[in-house]
Amino acid sequence: MAVFSEHVSVEPMHSSDLDAVHRLDRLCFPTPWLDRAFQTELSNRAADYFVARNNSDVVGYGGYWLIMEVAHFTTVAVHPCHQGRNIGLRLMLAMFDEAILKGAKRAALEVREGNVSAQSLYHKFGFYQASLRKNYYTDNGENALIMWAEAIQSTLFRQRLLNVRQSLYS
């Protein structure tokens, strides 16, 4: 069972976080975003980005775009030294809370076929595999799974979020 850490907070990302976020991005992904990408995202009115802080250190981040009532989760990552502490879960909760507040009705994302840990995280939020894009990733030709979560404004989905939230304290 993963232990909930009382030292970790999840907050909106600010420009003062960008250096740390870029460092983390390079650490967590084989094809990190370009240097100005997160800066651009912070000025994108359709986007919401969050960071997880362990005390003052940025140890995780995630974000989504809201387009036509669909929340497109663009990225989520946790520093390797802090993985398995429910930080990914808490970032996903923050993103869903905000997306639902802003009227999102569905959510979508893409994930590497071999990334079973991320897929397991997404399953907890009701994401299912809707389709597959062959040879999608440029670094190794890996396939992408396209995953959707439906009816995220529904009572059933809110109950799912509540269950996930409660699991942090069990």
| Residue with smaller CB distance to ligand COA, 63 or 157 | 63
The one catalytic residue among 110, 113, 142, 150 = 110
Rounded to the nearest 5°, which phi and psi values hold at 114?
A: -90, 0
CB of 85 to ligand COA, least distance (A): 5
CB of 80 to ligand COA, least distance (A): 7
CB of 81 to ligand COA, least distance (A): 10
Residue nearest to ligand COA (CB): 88
For the chain, count helices (H), then strands (E). 5, 7
CB of 67 to ligand COA, least distance (A): 18
* CA gap 52, 57 in Å, rounded: 8
Query: Residue 131: how many CA atoms within 13 Å on its side-chain side?
Result: 4
Strands (E), the chain: 8-12, 47-54, 57-67, 70-78, 106-112, 128-133, 144-149
122 is catalytic: yes
Which chain residues interact with ligand COA by CB under 6 A? 2, 28, 76-78, 83-89, 111, 115-118, 120-121, 124
Please state the length of the chain. 170
| Residue with smaller CB distance to ligand COA, 27 or 153 | 27
| Residue with smaller CB distance to ligand COA, 116 or 151 | 116
> What residues are paired with 133 via a beta bridge?
144
The one catalytic residue among 11, 122, 136, 137 = 122
Active site residues per annotation: 110, 122
